[in-house]
Structure 1
């Protein structure tokens, strides 16, 4: 449902959980981007409000990929949280319905400076950085939020949010982490992830444009997400994906939040169905 320009209501039938975690990312070859407005169950559906904008922050109709998860299934590690107090002066724990950790740890968020946060993700502690996968999405704000450093084995991860001028800005955000499971916290479907830190590097095509080979995925369906990582103001999303024999090829585009121009960046790609 599209109630207004750049605003969409996405409905997942039969999901009535309160809490959980929602993420969205734009899809396609332009510098548009999307954020989550909110999410909540209504009768027998989970309704997720999505807002998409052009690079300047103006509402813009766009294609996107959205996903929702509530708890996890399988033996992998999966954590999520909603950081909904972007200007808190003290470290805080999300409400119980707004956080989950398969290792039963308790997550927390601590604001370090404007638009910069430390986030304790219990399930990530002790996991090699290249094996950790994250989604981070701005919530209720037209902003770009992402991990601002490579994942840490300490469990304390760093998140930064920037506005459409590339400046740090306080923002609520949702975050999810997965290891040895899909980015939806499930192991009963095929999944995989790669990053610019992986042994198999993405193929650089031109400035801000990459091709990522996901070997053995074996189906031209499911869902693919990409996001920038690191200290720069870059943001990234999937432009398209397709199959060749048993391998999936994902094309990723990255742009500068400040200049809105294509820019080379570090990023991660995840796929599942």
Structure 2
């Protein structure tokens, strides 16, 4: 596996900061069989450079090829995973650097005419909705085999389906073997249906990991609901609900890339809407403990959080964050969150995130934070 050196070690080095596998993004054309299995993480750190091979260290491609980022316009990027030509899978992206920027995945596809590479298109937008150059973190996986826990990922193929739509098999995977369905309940409001989680050995479900990314070339942000409510809401830069396609990764005892063993990983939620007496509370799962817990949240200021994952400290790794919806499903999404940095602190990992209300005002939102040490143990 080829790796470029990973993101700066030590808490003192915390970083501060168009088509989806088918010719027509809104279509439901069949996707060829998955070959090969691809896992990748990208920290794109040169937002104004026309083209560069990523060598910053927090980037890895399981097929040993280089990772190349090309800027094709203001806030428009193509990530090339060399040697990773494949089909299906799921891509996610989040803005990096701390400012009120959000990014979407415009699509991903194999290079044409028998090429060997996988191309992922990313778009980034300022708080006003205008395109803006930005650093970002992107991930991709099409893993379909795990030996424990539960892994599900899917990509919606229509922004406004009629009734409950069952996704074609090539657009989804669930290790429980079940179908994945979704429906539109209103403008920008969706519910998806998956099999329930198996019980853990402790007799209750594990705390789940969930992340969502809007698909398309417009300034749209999508958020997922509180654990196991299985709802998604999408809005434009002003917070107005809009219909959109989106990608989701969901499961228990797995990381965002679909690993259930090997790397150390953790995921948790900080409940910004429940800040009390200068403290922020949350829930989490940590693979080093094998059960609920193992994370600590710290409120650094309005909309600024720090999450410490116990026992996951490594020289390198990848972090991710989404805002997630308020506690009551009737409430609309309130904004979005970005990564502002992450790094090792002794035996632990510290991830910092900033959250903003629509149009870029700092706000205490609920935030789902994940971390994995992949490709390292």
User: Do they fold alike, i.e. is TM over 0.5?
Assistant: yes
SS at match of 2:167: coil
**1:113 pairs with 186, 194, 197, which one?**
186
Helix, strand or coil: the match of 1:131?
coil
Indicate the SS of the match to 1:202. strand
Residue number in structure 2 paired with 1:74: 147
Quickly say closer, same or farther: Cα 1:126–1:93, change in 2 above 3 A: farther
Alpha-carbon distance in structure 2 between the residues aligned to 1:129 and 1:60: 41
5 Å matches for 1:230-249? 230-231=325-326, 232-249=333-350
Which segment drifts farther, 103-112 or 226-235?
Answer: 226-235
Q: Which residue of 1 aligns with 2:55?
A: none
Q: Does 1:254 align with 2:355?
A: yes
1:211 correspondence with 2:306: yes
**Corresponding residue of 2:267:** 193
8 Å Cα contact 1:240/1:250 also seen in 2: yes
- Aligned mates of 1:224, 1:24 — CA distance in 2: 11
Provide the rounded CA distance (Å) in 1 between the counterparts of 2:132 and 2:254. Answer: 34
3-state secondary structure, aligned to 1:151: coil
- Which whole-Å CA distance do the structure 1 matches of 2:128 and 2:194 have between them? 32
Which residue number in structure 1 is paired with residue 135 of structure 2? 63
Structure 2 CA distance for aligned equivalents of residues 240 and 29 of structure 1: 8
Quote the residue 1:97 is aligned against: 170
CA contact (8 A) 1:105 1:123 kept: no
Secondary structure at the residue paired with 2:268? strand
Task: State the shift of 1:182 in Å.
Answer: 1.2
8 A Cα contact 2:189 2:233, kept in partner: yes
- Greater Rg over alpha carbons, structure: 2
Name the residue aligned to 2:20: none
Q: C-alpha distance in 2, partners of 1:126/1:107? A: 20
Please give the per-residue CA displacement for 1:119-154, whole angstroms capped at 9, x wherever unaligned.
11336476867711111000013201011x3122xx
8 Å contact from structure 1 (residues 236, 267) kept in 2: yes
Give the distance between the partners of 1:212 and 1:116, measured in 2 at CA: 29
Asked if 1 retains the 8 angstrom alpha-carbon contact of 2:220 and 2:234, the reply is: yes
Distance in 1, Cα, partners of 2:266 & 2:183: 30
1:67, 1:245 → 2: CA distance?
A: 26
* Runs of 4+ displaced beyond 4 Å: 123-130
Q: Structure 1 length as normaliser, TM-score?
A: 0.93
Which position in structure 1 is the counterpart of 2:121?
49
* Aligned residue among 110, 133, 136 for 2:212: 136
CA distance, structure 1, for counterparts of residue 311 and residue 222 of structure 2: 31
Question: 1:238 touches 1:252 (CA, 8 Å); kept in 2?
Answer: yes
Q: Deviations over 1:79-114 (max 9, x none)?
A: 111112111122112222110111111001100000
Does residue 228 (structure 1) correspond to residue 228 (structure 2)? The answer is: no
Task: Please report how far the alpha carbon of residue 188 of structure 1 lies from its aligned counterpart in structure 2 after TM superposition.
Answer: 2.2
- Segments of structure 2 that go 5 or more residues without pairing to the other structure are 1-69, 271-281, 284-292, 327-332
Partner of 1:178: 251
Match of 2:71 in 1: 2
Contact 1:9–1:49 at 8 Å: present in 2 too? yes
Tell me the TM-score normalised to structure 2 length: 0.68
Contact 1:11 1:45 in 2 (8 A): yes
Q: Is the contact made by 1:162 and 1:233 (CA closer than 8 Å) also made in structure 2? A: no
Q: Does 1:263 align with 2:363?
A: yes
1:243 touches 1:249 (CA, 8 Å); kept in 2?
A: yes
Q: Give distance in 1, aligned partners of 2:85 and 2:166.
A: 24
Shift in alpha-carbon separation, 1:252–1:241, aligned structure 2, 3 A: same
Shift, 1:234, TM fit:
2.1
Q: SS state of the match for residue 122, structure 1?
A: coil
